[in-house]
Amino acid sequence: MDVIAYFQSYKGYFWEWTTDEDVSDDTGYRENNLISIPNGGSIAYRPYIIEVLRTLKDQGFPPFGSLLLVLYAAQEGYVNLDGIFSYLKRISREVSAQETVQDIESAHQFLEHISQVGYPLKQGQNKINLLQTIFKDAHNQVASLSSEWIIKRFEKSPVIISQAAEKKELTQAVVSRDIKTLSLLHHRFPTTESIIDAVKGIAAIPELENEVIQEEPVIETGKEFIKELIEEPKTFQVGSLIKRIWSGLKIPMRHLSPGEQPIGGISDMTNKGDFNRMLLSEFAHEEEVFMNRVANNEALYIQREIPPEENVFERVILIDISLKNWGTPKVLAFASAIAVIKHPKAHSECKVFVLGEHSIPVSLNTVEEVIRNQNAVSPVLGVSNALERFFEEEYNGRDLEVFFITSHENVQNQHMQKVIHENRDKLKFLVTTSADGELNFYKHHKGTRKHIQKIRLPLRELWAHPPKGNKTSGSVGSGIKTAVPENYPLLFPTPKDRMETFLYEGEFYMLSNKKQLLKTYLSDNYYNKNIYQNISIQKGCEVIVENISVKPRGQFALARNKAGNYILAQYQPDRKNLSRLNLSTGEYSELNLSGLDIPVNFSLIYFNKSFFLYGLEYDNIFRINLEGNLFAERTDNNREIRKNVFRTEAELNKLKNKGIKILNNFTRIGINSAERLVVSKFALQFHSENEYWLEKNSDKIEIYAHQDKNKFTFSDGSEVITDHRGMLTFVSSNKSIPVFYMPSSHDGYIALATEKEFGGSEYYLPKKSKLKIREMEEMYFDYMEPFIKHVLEYGT
């Protein structure tokens, strides 16, 4: 078997080669670098798959499809095995692989067992041991010599993958080969325990217990763990703060409550107590002397104050991961949480939740968990709702000591203050962070909030010497891709490449090549036509639906049903196939039209709450219903339909060949010697009064941001979040600078916007926006320039 045959992809199969433009690898070949399930998420990146295959070449490669299914099942987190195998059953029936249908159930059970082996076996070398164990002497193996040759051939010419990415017709042999291998493995490893026992036979796994469900990782000791955080570039900033926080932390690590412990003897006397415990000799004094001794705490009582005993309690830490808690405040939040959890004197149980749209339990016991959870971000602006639900649903009157860590700015929110006040008896400690390194600790006691202490961390000093592995020249990390919102305060640049453009009820929509339904507008109130150039008519677009399950072929029409859901119809003339997809519910139906005599020049259109297969010169056309069971019925052509077709074509011609060059391949972000922002090869340049655009950079880049997927972080903690749809989010570590946004297009003038203000080309201004309109020059000097200057002043 050669390299192309082994990596070959097939039409309609469960996996395909795709390209993540934000990621590159050492080979230099950026295309086809990701294997994903069509409309179902990612399986693995190509560099990782190649590394896995290198470890398997001595024993021979398993079938590629079998390997991909095992890698998918071994992922940590949610996997949709039911959906994949339902899909495989349908494929098997289509290719008449009846034996494969029978094997699918066994293969499904085997992968379910793989998914349940527990956290330790899914990480690092243990995962490699797992793959080597189950695929040793597996069915349909590639010989070891051929396996080694495939690796060498790929290393010599990685671009050869492009030939394998061109899909061939799926055959019964391909499906049977992949499924049969897994089916036979199920007979060899019938249970999860048998898989674990087999792996234990080739390598010691000390952290793997006999139970296989929800295994917990080994908790590292505090000081060793902090050292590992400091040595890891991705957690250096968090780790370097913890010991400094320890040195000033005044929060009690143990709570003491009264206990009964009689002492006796002379040491059992005290100058405080109840009157029934007072020594009888005290009553022998004259009344004035007696009252004076009591008032001055000179009277003596039997049994001194009760010695304290340790009270066992459960500590809960809540960390804000909303949009407004990005950057340095978020670093301080995680550092504070770990400082409390790993404090040398802390022995009580501690649970951690991150708050976004919901409260999600997390663990911070390993470096990998800190990286993963620190990269998590919720698209909400505030977490007051999640905090309120936590106290209503999770608290349940238990004996908890709750910490809530958020930024000082978020505490000023009126709704947040209300939630904190209403739950002050449940919220023990409030910790606020700020971009300048200040931590404030508050304690709620008997309904009042008391300021305990302030800790100011010298961030520049503590972060001045990152570990040698820390790269500042835009290298790609291995963290989780930072979440981005569906839409922004300003419009996306409209893509040039699209499958179809629609006019529905006077509004314009597009089905993009990236399988998004976009809504766009025609400008009717632009205040400066000179800044539009060739795009003076059309405005930008907003996302209505993403990740639409549709193939880019045939004709499309768009409508909305009575419930307001978008309905997408697709007609493939060559296959005589008609389908209808509800974009909100995912409900799908299709109809074969082979029995109808439909002319080849008929087009799919929408008119008056129905779809039509329409021809201008024909007396009879076909109507397709919008709701209910899908059918096509012959009907008369009429003047109103013809008028609508002409009117729609005239309107859509206004959008013909319109669109902008979107910058979506972000290779680097930095600041050049002219103190201008640089995005890939382009610098944000001043063009003329109130006009800025991205043009080719000609100055030396002085400071680079560190790249981790789609997040670029400067050394001061400021971040730029990229969105391949054409948007940049700027989050300064100086919280006096609000989060702001800029479209990433290099075709015409750009705009800047915050959650409240907008400036620049009206092309990016939403039609019904309530943003305050300002001059672009003002927006630049108020937001972009301070962002850049803060990076230059505090960055290294």
The residues, ordered by sequence, that sit 6+ positions from 133 with a Cβ below 8 Å of its Cβ are 195, 198, 199, 201, 202
pLDDT of residue 268: 67
> What is the token pair recorded at 513?
């090549």
DSSP 168: B
The total of other beta-carbon atoms located within 10 Å of residue 575's CB is: 12
How far is the C-alpha of 369 from the C-alpha of 341, rounded, in Å? 14
- Contacts of range 586-589, beta carbons closer than 8 Å, 24 or more positions apart: 586/549, 588/549, 589/629, 589/630
pLDDT score for 223: 63
Please give the model's pTM, rounded to 2 decimal places. 0.45
Which H helix or E strand runs over 521?
strand 517-522
Are 364 and 341 within 8 A, CB to CB? yes
User: CA-to-CA distance for 772 and 757, rounded, in angstroms?
Assistant: 5
d(CA 241, CA 42): 35
Instruction: Give the Cα-Cα-Cα angle 524, 526, 527 (nearest 5 degrees).
Output: 145
Alpha helices by DSSP H, listed for 376-413, are: 384-389, 408-411
Nearest CA among 351, 345, 318, 316 for reference residue 334: 318
Q: Which residues are within 8 A (CB) of 594 and not within 5 positions of it... i.e. 6 or more apart?
A: 576
Instruction: Answer yes or no: are the C-beta atoms of 579 and 611 closer than 8 Å.
Output: no
Q: What's the pLDDT at 253?
A: 57
Question: What is the Cα–Cα distance from 77 to 453, expressed in whole angstroms?
Answer: 39
Mean residue pLDDT of the chain comes to 82
Other beta carbons less than 10 A from residue 215's beta carbon? 17
Q: What is the pLDDT of residue 22?
A: 59
Read off the tokens for 666.
């972000």
- Cα–Cα nearest to 656, from 492, 534, 467, 501: 501
Kindly state the helix (H) or strand (E) to which residue 330 belongs, with its residue range. Answer: helix 328-341
> What is the C-alpha separation between 434 and 426, in angstroms, rounded?
24
d(CA 774, CA 679): 24
Going along 184-335, which residue ranges are E strands?
A: 255-258, 269-270, 301-302, 308-311, 314-320
Q: What is the spatial distance between Cα 418 and Cα 498, in angstroms, rounded to a whole number?
A: 47
The H or E element containing residue 147 is: helix 144-156
For the chain, residues with pLDDT lower than 70 are 21-26, 39-41, 76-80, 93-102, 119, 201-223, 250-268, 303-313, 345-348, 395-399, 468-480, 523-537, 795-796
Residue 358 DSSP label: S
Identify any residues that bridge with 320 across adjacent strands, giving them in sequence order. 355
CA–CA gap between residue 5 and residue 163 (Å, rounded)? 9
Terminal CA-CA length for the chain:
51
Nearest alpha-carbon partner for 670 in 472, 513, 538, 514: 472
Phi, psi of 566 (to 5 degrees): -75, 135
Q: Give the torsion through C-alpha atoms of 62, 63, 64, 69, to 10 deg.
A: -90
**Torsion of the alpha carbons at 657, 660, 661 and 665, rounded to the nearest 10:** -120
**Nearby residues of 314 by Cβ (< 8 Å), 6 or more positions away:** 348, 349, 350, 351, 398, 399, 400, 401
Both tokens of 225, joined, read 């763990």
Token pair 């129905």: residue: 610
- Contacts of residue 280, defined as CB under 8 A and 6 or more positions apart, other chains included, come to none
Q: For residue 478, what pLDDT is reported? A: 44
For 225, the 3-state DSSP assignment is helix
Cβ-contact 25, 48 below 8 angstroms? no
| Confidence (pLDDT) at 20 | 74
Q: Under 8 Å CB-to-CB from 639, ≥6 apart: which residues?
A: none
Residue 107 to residue 81: CA distance in whole angstroms: 11
Q: What are the tens digits of pLDDT across the range 545-592?
A: 998 988 888 999 999 999 899 999 999 998 889 999 999 888 889 998
Phi–psi pair at 518, nearest 5 degrees: -115, 150
Distance of CA 288 to the CA centre of its chain: 75
766, β-bridge pairs:
none
Q: How many Cβ atoms from other residues are within 10 Å of residue 192's Cβ?
A: 18
Strand ranges in 524-637 using DSSP code E only, listed in sequence order: 538-545, 555-560, 566-572, 577-582, 588-592, 603-607, 610-614, 620-624, 632-636
What's CA 212's distance to the chain center, in Å? 27
Q: How far apart are CA 539 and CA 521, in angstroms?
A: 5
3-state secondary structure string across 623-672: EECCCCCCCEEEEECCHHHHHHHHHHHHHHHHHCCCCECECCCCCCEEEE
Q: Kindly calculate the radius of gyration of the chain based on its CA atoms and give it in whole angstroms.
A: 33
